[in-house]
Amino acid sequence: MSLLRQLLISVTVAMCIIFAGTLWLSLSGAQGYLNERLQVEASNTASSLALSLSQPGNQDPVTQELLLKALYDTGQYHSIILKNPAGETVHELVRGSDAGAVRAPGWLEVLFPLSVPTVAQAVSDGWKQIGEVVVTPESGYARQVLWNVAWKVLVLVVAAGLLWAVFAISLIRWLRRALQTEIAAQVNAIADMQATGAPAIASTGSRIKELAQVHNVIESVRERVRATADEQNRQIETLEVALHSDEVTGLANRRYFINELRRALRGSEGDEPAAGLRHGHVLIFRQRDLSSINAAHDRRETDNWLRQVCDSVREVLVEQADPSRPQPQLARLNGSDFVVLLAGYDGPDTTDLLEALRQKLDSLRIQTADNRLCRWCYALTDYGPNCDVGQVLARLDHGLMRAENAGHDEVEYMASSEYRSLGVAGNTGESAWKALILNALQEGRVHLNVEPSLYSNDDTPDRHEALLVMRDDKDGSSVSGYLFMPPAVRLGLSGACDLRAIKLGLEWLRGNSGTISLRVSLASLLLPGFLQDMEKVLSANEVQSSERERLVLEVDAHGFVAYPEELESFCGLAARLGVGVGVRRLAEQPAALLRLHKVRIRYLKLGGDLISGLMESPGAIQLIAAITESAIGQGVKIYAHDVPNAATAAMLREYGVLLPANETFPEEGDENEGEFVDN
């Protein structure tokens, strides 16, 4: 029950008690007064009548009767009786029960009864008593007076009660308005200020004296709430920054980037231009040696270096950004992974930006614990309609695995159309890859896809190259080694896959003539016990030396730069067994030339930008001259691909480089500009 209602009820009860008490006292006073008047009137009447009857002239019975009747006829007496000295009634006048009846409620007679006195007075003749007169007054008139007093007081009480009720209702309404104005409105203003952060309008003061102290308290609370709200807003801003920012670099963190990517993908599904751009690219780059950097430098130096890297990347993004497109957004996904959202960028649009970014990161490399420069790996993917966050991140992760497997710093491009052909039952997690690869190895569903690979003027007879594929016997689909080898490297299964490839290569050699080249992952060569297992496979009793001589194991040139001792051990084992060694991607790792003279290899492969841009770069020409002079002098063949035109092909032939057979090269200017070549 509200305080106002309690106040109203309590005051109403008090007023009712007061009104009831006033009515009771009024009626009680009237009752006493009327009883006294009846007594006095009865006594006076009896005395006067007795005196009149005591006169000698009035002692005649007829005269006595006339006197009694005259007094009785006034209607003020209920009975008048004259008795003789013996107590016998001489004259008796008695009014009936209905006579003198008044309209008064019964409760009045019960609560306030009137006492009707009976007064007797002696009648004498001188000193001799001749009788007695008994007078009883009529109480009806007194009761009528008492009732008149009762209803008048009752009307007065009811009228006062109604006036009090009206006053009380008006008072309650006024109090409510006053409380609403003085208290509720100000408290609501404080609440609104806390909810919206808008400053509350200060009150000019209380118009009610009794609420002045309450007003002062509210003002004090308002100031405290304003100060608290300001502090909370500052804390909220700090928490929002901390929630969406990386603590070390200040970049947007994974949560913020995922939200931005999800918003971009939602925009790519909309029809309205304002909803977002319909396409774009996402670049991820990883510092592969962060743990080794932490081992070589203290935490403060590493953090400062990471901040320097992020600041430099920001500058590159600002300088290389296309003004007609949204600004690229840089974020840090975790300790070693950084990502750039390129909303609205096409593939060709990202070329200059990616190259500038790679050059900047390459210039910021620092030494690791094993005295090597740290390495970056890159992956790029596109997004568009019907893409989701999980698919984009899965493609980026797979691209990083491919880059780590290859060991180079080139950008691995994972097109959405290419990745959809993966077919891992909709699941691209490591557990799914592990189950898929292990099951394929156990069930014998890993095969070699052998293709002829002939080069002009090559004296190697019937040359072939093979690539691992994983086949599904149910639907006949297959997954290329380009796709499943990167996750196999991360899961530590690359060694098993490469040993399977060597066994399959030997089986192929038993039934076919010519040579076969197999790719061996650099990660497999670094696995403990891989070289011993490879030696067991190649030196088995059923393997003939002629078969080993026709087998060539191809490795990435990056291994001779990053892991020279391991590669020299591998090449030494291959030489002892009579197995050939080939080196691919030498153009991307020219520093490997410093190590190649220590090992026996059969061929080198050149391609990529070194070959495609040979005619425009004097430095590339000098590098080709150095490579060919060093390799041919040691009896090493040089194979080239990605030859753009006839002029480049002619120059390579002059240097003794072997080009793919049955391939025509367009004259300079005829090639399709802007066409991408898959290395």
* CB-neighbour burial class of residue 154 (10 A; exposed 0-12, middle 13-18, buried 19+): middle
Q: What pLDDT, on the 0 to 100 scale, is given for residue 675?
A: 39
Question: Domain limits of the chain?
Answer: 3-94+101-167, 172-239, 245-419, 452-469+492-606
**pLDDT tens sequence across 51-98:** 777 777 676 777 777 877 877 777 677 778 878 887 777 778 787 655
Chain-centroid distance of CA 2 in Å reads 40
Which pLDDT tens digit goes with each residue over 287-305? Answer: 988 988 998 889 999 999 9
**What architecture does CATH give domain 452-469+492-606?**
Alpha-Beta Barrel (3.20)
Give the residue among 263, 262, 237, 242 at the shortest CA–CA distance from 252. Answer: 242
In angstroms, rounded to a whole number, what is the distance separating the alpha carbons of residues 212 and 209? Answer: 5
- Identify the burial level of 3 via C-beta atoms within 10 angstroms of its C-beta, where 0-12 means exposed, 13-18 middle and 19 or more buried: exposed
Tell whether pTM > 0.85: no
Element (H, E) at 479: strand 478-480
Is residue 171 within 8 A of residue 163, CB to CB? The reply is no
Residue 662: count other Cβ atoms within 10 Å of its Cβ. Answer: 7
Radius of gyration (Cα) for the chain, nearest Å?
59
Architecture of domain 245-419: 2-Layer Sandwich (3.30)
What pLDDT is stored for residue 22 in this prediction? Answer: 80
Q: Amino acid letter at 675? A: E
CATH 3.30.450 fits 3-94+101-167, yes or no: yes
3-state secondary structure 377-446: EEEEEEECCCCCHHHHHHHHHHHHHHHHHHCCCCEEEECHHHHCCCCCCCCCCHHHHHHHHHHHHHHCCE
Token pair belonging to 455: 């080069």
In the predicted model, residues of the chain with pLDDT beneath 70 are 1-4, 57, 59, 75, 96-104, 193-211, 241-242, 267-278, 407-408, 418-429, 473-476, 668-679
Say which DSSP state 326 is in: P
Residues 454-466 have pLDDT tens digits of 998 888 878 999 9
* Residue 201 burial class via C-beta count within 10 angstroms: exposed 0-12, middle 13-18, buried 19 and up: exposed
